[in-house]
Structure 1
């Protein structure tokens, strides 16, 4: 343990490398002025601790990195106390655009107001046209342009159709071409209540589990091993890593198991007032133990620490298990959009 302890009543280092991923308060010797030591404190997520030193990500500003030998005091601290605030006043169109920034495709092309997105087939969201506004072409011509662009990449043509937001006659034109539809719910919740969800009565599963949650800026091999959307295709895996790590402020969470492999994982992207939650997975043997709730609570607290007040997520309308979980966490449906797939020729 760096620095060891000090005399009774004096600050001491109560953190070590096993606390990476937790919220900590750390004091370091910054400089010596006129033979007097000057100390500086930082509170935030301990994102790394290795032979090069410690890095702490505070509430705002750049991460703080310093050598281990200047650490004079440290301890873990509670989650950020998210303030009560109403949901941001954001309509469906803007929320869809925010969601696109939080899941940025590997390749993008503008077609008028539309955005064509491709990512080697990794998820429909990153391989569909966000059809908001005017494509700048007559609709039949725009759809043929889209179909050709995706065909060049060996991908089907998917459209993200949002009402309101997409052209009024888009659905009729897609129907004429024989498109198949799949509904997705966009659900929102205030962050303050979500951050408190993992800190219920002592002894409750989620209340015990949130203390085990660790945060990171990157999705390492262990995290990826539990993410069920990754296939064995190297191109898809490379695209997945790029998409997962894209976004304004991305955090990954996991709950380590006894052997180190994660029992649960999750992802959050913070973009101004909003935080997007996704990639929540729990190992089969660890389900119904409050791990998903704990993950989302810790991610929500971090998002609140960065200034967000609302959370959102996207869930397939037929995923009843996930919807039940999100109902219990206070999420309600903001709007529904549809993925529409054109038949391939």
Structure 2
């Protein structure tokens, strides 16, 4: 608890503390001898009029009426609770961007506009972007103009390509983007999907006891690999271009019956980092350790290339995958959210 019953309760948070991590207690219910209080810890993302907006580590935004405050203070950044490699948000965000490159990109100050789209299925109107990661603006740093002007430019750029405008915004670690998230929400942008970025020690993964002789590693994505990949229908050239791009890309395949792989995976080695993506196992082969086998084989290849740390991304509602990665030693670093323009 941030506040104790024996401690003196004071409100020591002011609008000047916007951008800092705070802990506040508010009165949420009252009655004869039965007051109720709620504690909120997170980044103070705004203080507009009489309402504080606090973003928790999970990315949830909490509005707290200033009149309900009974205590509040600035608190230190949350201590690291991971056994994996130390990393800043910016370092990981840039490594992830290099590992999943769009077909087309354009700078907007320090932001990056990204697009990777093919024609709509069946030849209908519009285009379909291959993953939000490759079809969203990555707002690292200053766009070089006022925020409203930058967002107008973002909407226009994606509109010219027949795509919805998305912004990828991170929360939950030092120097992430809680203030930007609050500004987007104030302007009507809404999150459609959230994911966690996990990190872990690469050697521990590579040292696991797994039958890696079953895994075929290749530099190019093959037809059978794409047949197992579930994130797209019939893959167009834009899908292949995104999958093939990166500093050092490897595709893993565990052969199955009828030419359909039992399991697949993708890894991008980039300096000290090895990023794991597209780890999929056929339904009939699950619970047999194939995901671990694929990742172990890829980890050993990344170790040979000089990498020492691992990262991956998993959607927050994918409980099975999160349990698998926790068992492999991965722990949460931060979350990111894809906000869509109204």
Alignment TM-score, normalising by the size of structure 2: 0.69
Deviates more, 1:180-189 or 1:301-310: 180-189
Encode CA deviations 1:89-140: one digit per residue, 9 max, x unaligned: 4201111011100111100010000001000000010001111110001001
Query: 5 Å matches for 1:57-136?
Result: 87-120=84-117, 121-136=129-144
Counterparts of 2:97 and 2:313, CA distance in 1: 11
Counterparts of 1:168 and 1:226, CA distance in 2: 37
- For the 8 Å contact 2:85–2:199, the answer to whether it is kept is no
Counterparts of 2:175 and 2:133, CA distance in 1: 16
Runs of 5+ unmatched residues, structure 2: 1-82, 118-128
Pick closer, same or farther for the CA change 1:259–1:171 going to 2, 3 Å: closer
Encode CA deviations 1:29-88: one digit per residue, 9 max, x unaligned: xxxxxxxxxxxxxxxxxxxxxxxxxxxxxxxxxxxxxxxxxxxxxxxxxxxxxxxxx855
From 198, 202, 221, the equivalent of 1:191 is 202
- In the other structure, the counterpart of 1:217 is 219
- In the other structure, the counterpart of 2:291 is 292
SS at match of 1:311: strand
Counterparts of 2:177 and 2:321, CA distance in 1: 30
From 143, 146, 159, the equivalent of 2:151 is 143
- In the other structure, the counterpart of 2:303 is 304
SS at match of 1:126: coil
SS at match of 1:266: strand
Deviation at 1:168, TM superposition (A): 5.8
Encode CA deviations 1:283-311: one digit per residue, 9 max, x unaligned: 11111111100000000000001000001
Q: How many residues align?
A: 246
Alignment TM-score, normalising by the size of structure 1: 0.69
Counterparts of 2:258 and 2:162, CA distance in 1: 41
- In the other structure, the counterpart of 1:333 is 332
Runs of 5+ unmatched residues, structure 1: 1-85, 200-206
- In the other structure, the counterpart of 1:162 is 170
Counterparts of 1:108 and 1:275, CA distance in 2: 23
- For the 8 Å contact 1:274–1:308, the answer to whether it is kept is yes
SS at match of 1:96: helix
Deviation at 1:259, TM superposition (A): 3.8
The root-mean-square deviation of aligned C-alpha atoms, in Å, is 1.6
